[in-house]
Structure 1
Amino acid sequence: MPSPAKRATGTLALVLWLGLVAGCSDDPGLALGEERIAPDEAALERAMTARILEIGRRHEAAGTPIPRFNQPKTVACARATFEVPPHTGELARGVFAEPGEYAALLRFANATQQDDRVKDLRGLSVRLAGVAGAEGVDGTRGRQDFLFNSHPALFAGTPEDFQRFVSAVADDRRWWYFLNPLAPQPKSLWIALRARSRPDSPLAIGYYSTTPYRYGDDETSAVKYAVRPCDGTGGAAANGDGADGDDPDYLRHAMAAQLAEGEACLTFMVQFQTDPEAMPIEDASVAWDEDASPFRPVARLRLPPQEIDAPDALARCESLVFNPWNTHPAHRPLGGINRMRRDLYQAAGELRTTHNATLSVDETP
């Protein structure tokens, strides 16, 4: 029989282990579709907004264009039709409740790099027009935005992580967020490295919302979105071999060549939350298991033949401010990262577009 001292040591180890497991569990006790707002969240959002605006004002003072904080390079800007077929049951909610078509604008982007040949996270922003019941943050009616990345998880999955990353970028020490020995972020670094890819075309890969959204008026319903090529490929952003070693804009030119010859098709999909712990609302660094809850198609994006590399098409995208809170109430954003985005994206976008428009006017002959 173990001695009292050994039993006490074993009990202490068990308590510590249980505490560690409980600490690693994301929001235990939350129900399906339920959020948990931290008391200091508003302060974090204000701090992040201030730091991002600080970056913008440096460019303003220097008289240079203000880039987007995230996804700064517009690879391509394309017109599309968002086609919703008839649905029944839980899929028939919000924008997807009735069959119909909406005009859509798609912005494809690089997360950090101006050179397409460099491995990077790729982005897609989708804007629908004329959606009854939808409203933009600025009050514009009919506006519905969906935002995507080419990897299913974010490296900064909580407001606290996001705030630390923003501060590192503002201090011009982006990689310090990952490598700071006093606050190492091994999971974030692993996700950031794994998310980087060099695809053959922006139309050949899959995109993920990474953050969750309400789906309908059921408070227990939450989904993530995905966009994939209609032929069923593009489940992940694979490293392609089609990159032109001499062309820093090869992604743009690959997409332009495809749309010069014919149309392209993308499938818009939803994935329902089925387990509030394994599929957390409040941690966007966790990809929801597709075996437990597969993505299901709810719409199609059809891109007609068009010219996407003309300067006016690219300029049109640069003048837009996308925000997940430009939305129909049935698709309200959920989770801390999304709550941070609402006012932060709006403030940063207003500063960027106002300043850059001034530069364009000044440069006009």
Structure 2
Amino acid sequence: MALMALLATLAGCGEEPPPALGEERVAPGEAALGAAMTERILEIGERHRATGEPIPRFNQPKTVACATATFEVPPLDDDLAVGLFAEPGRYEALVRFANATRQDDRDKDLRGASLRLFGVPGAESLAGPPGQQDFLFNSHPALFAGTPEAFYRFVEAVADGRLWWYFVNPLAPQPRSLMIALRARDRSVSPLAETYWSTTPYRFGEGHAVKYSLRSCAGAPAPMAAPDPDHPDHLRHALAEQLAEGEACLSFRVQFQTDPQAMPIEDASVVWDEHASPFRPVGRLTLHRQAIDTPRALARCESTVFNPWNSHPAHRPLGGINRLRRAIYQAAGAQRTTHNATLSGDSPSAPPTQEEGP
């Protein structure tokens, strides 16, 4: 009997069973980790405030462009007709395109897109009126720091002014993170030329999890390049040129989790296999003909705070990175928008409305 017990122990008897589809696993100490991370990010913002500078977003600091749009939900198959997508509909929208780290559009970088829908029945907002549904995207399908522990180490390195140390610290090297970060950075000709991924998972009704993607609609004209590709704002100019002449279309798609181990909820550095579970279109985002390079258009996105927790309950964020985002984005967004409004002479009492993040 003693031998059988030993063999059972060695075989892993008594270990936590593997997660089910859509199941989260909250690590011990995650709340304390999130509080410490929020404190360090606010510390970075305070350094900018103390010098009288505007506080930039911790991530995706440059607003490349800010455009109004319409989001259309078509009739969908039963497994897709959930929450926001349960019925055909049209929603007014706002989309912010951004650079992850660089102010110069000519540099290699990760690109971002943040999308807000207005007037979504059942959507709950952390700040501002109800009915706001936010989606956050990056131009690479994986995060280089995909767990709360990894992201905390990254924030610590940034706060200490040693970003490089996160990747090459000999006591805790991150070669996989470094490879993801290097692969994610690229040059771009237009915000519309990128495919964007949510990287983190979300509920899609009870017992289901998905990741989101945003890309040019099938059959849409090729994105226009800027007439001045050597300009540091050439991505903004490219989109401005295109929307001055007509509309642009982006397809909103979902990818279902089909294997809870190969497609983990708690590690956003793992790409979900698109061959095992292809993305399926569920919505269409139309950017209207408009002027997107005006000070007013850019200021609208600068004064707002995207948060994935502005959401319909059927699409609640999942995973450790998303759980951290809730408090971090609220605190950092309030700090940034209040200080920057004071600098610009605007009222600092108006609540922030959007923020993007890791």
1:346 maps to 330
Contact 2:226 2:237 in 1 (8 A): no
Aligned ranges 1:1-365 → 2 under 5 Å:
29-138=18-127, 140-216=129-205, 218=206, 220-231=207-218, 244=228, 246-361=230-345
Give % identity. Answer: 73
Tell me by how many angstroms 1:245 deviates. 5.4
- Alpha-carbon separation, structure 2, partners of 1:140 and 1:72: 25
What SS does the corresponding residue of 1:90 show, helix, strand or coil? coil
Q: Distance in 2 between matches of 1:91 and 1:300?
A: 14
Structure 1: distance between partners of 2:244 and 2:66: 14
Distance 1:127 1:262 in 2: 22
**SS of structure 1 residue aligned to 2:213:** strand
Deviation, 1:246, is 2.9
The answer to whether the 8 A contact 2:107-2:187 is kept is yes
Residue 3 of structure 1 corresponds to none
Which structure 1 residue ranges, 5 or more long, are not aligned? 1-14, 20-26, 235-239
Runs of 4+ in 1 over 2 A off after TM superposition: 231-234, 240-246
Residue 156 of structure 1 aligns with an amino acid whose one-letter code is A
Structure 2 unpaired stretches of 5+: 1-9, 347-358
More helix by share: 1
Paired residues of 1:204 and 1:233 also in contact (CA < 8 A): no
CA RMSD of aligned residues (A): 2.0
* Distance (whole Å) between structure 2 residues aligned to residue 137 and residue 224 of structure 1: 22
**Helix, strand or coil at the partner of 2:43:** helix
TM-score (norm 1): 0.88
Q: After TM superposition, give the deviation of residue 242 of structure 1 in Å.
A: 7.0
Q: Deviations over 1:107-147 (max 9, x none)?
A: 00000000000000000000000001111112630110000
Deviation at 1:179, TM superposition (A): 1.0
Residue by residue over 1:140-194, the C-alpha shift from the partner in whole angstroms, topping out at 9 and shown as x without a partner, is: 3011000000000000000000000001001111111011111100010000000
For 1:6-26, what per-residue CA distance to the aligned partner results, in whole angstroms no more than 9, with x for missing partners? xxxxxxxxx8xx99xxxxxxx
Distance of aligned partners of 1:272 and 1:224 in 2 relative to their CA distance in 1, 3 Å threshold: same
Whichever residue aligns with residue 335 of structure 1, its letter is: G
Partner SS for 2:314? helix
State the shift of 1:231 in Å. 2.5
For 1:280, the aligned partner's letter is P
Q: How many residues of Structure 1 are paired with residues of Structure 2 in the alignment?
A: 333
Conserved? CA contact 1:199–1:241, under 8 Å: no
Q: Which amino acid aligns with 2:74?
A: P
8 Å CA contact 2:220–2:249 kept in 1: the answer is no
How far has the Cα of 1:256 moved from its partner?
0.5
Return the TM-score normalized by structure 2. 0.90
Deviation of 1:195 after TM superposition, in Å, equals 0.2
